Amino acid sequence: MIICTLKQVLRRKGWTRYRLEKESGITFPTLYAMFYGKSKGYSADVLNRLCATLHCKPGDLLRRAPDRFPRLKKGDN
């Protein structure tokens, strides 16, 4: 599972979502979904704009966490 850490990055930098919206040009609904972890996919363009605005790398905004309930692999019965 990929988790967006935008909330933590903004907190560390002392930025608000409003400031990020104005400086990056990314729409509020997109930032809202990423901020609250509701986004199902991450556009390369959005990640590029976030990284350029926040002066960070994609790895600072996204991290991989193990699935909470992984499915059984075939043959593990």
Q: What is the pLDDT of residue 63?
A: 93
Query: What predicted TM-score, i.e. pTM, was given to this entire model?
Result: 0.81
Does residue 45 form part of some domain? yes
CATH number at residue 26: 1.10.260.40
Asked if residue 73 is part of any domain, the answer here is no
Residue 72 lies in a domain: no
Q: Is residue 69 situated within a structural domain?
A: no
Q: What's the number of domains the chain is made of?
A: 1
Domain ranges, residue 52: 2-64
- Across all residues in the chain, what is the average pLDDT? 90
Q: What pLDDT was estimated at residue 73?
A: 61
- What's the whole-number mean pLDDT along residues 21-46? 95
Please give the average per-residue pLDDT across 16-45, as a whole number.
95
Please report whether residue 46 resides in a domain: yes
Please check whether residue 12 lies inside any domain of the structure: yes
Residue 67 is predicted with a pLDDT of: 76
Which of 10-37 are b and which e, b meaning 16 or more Cβ less than 10 Å from the residue's Cβ? beeeeeebeebbeebebeeebbebbbee
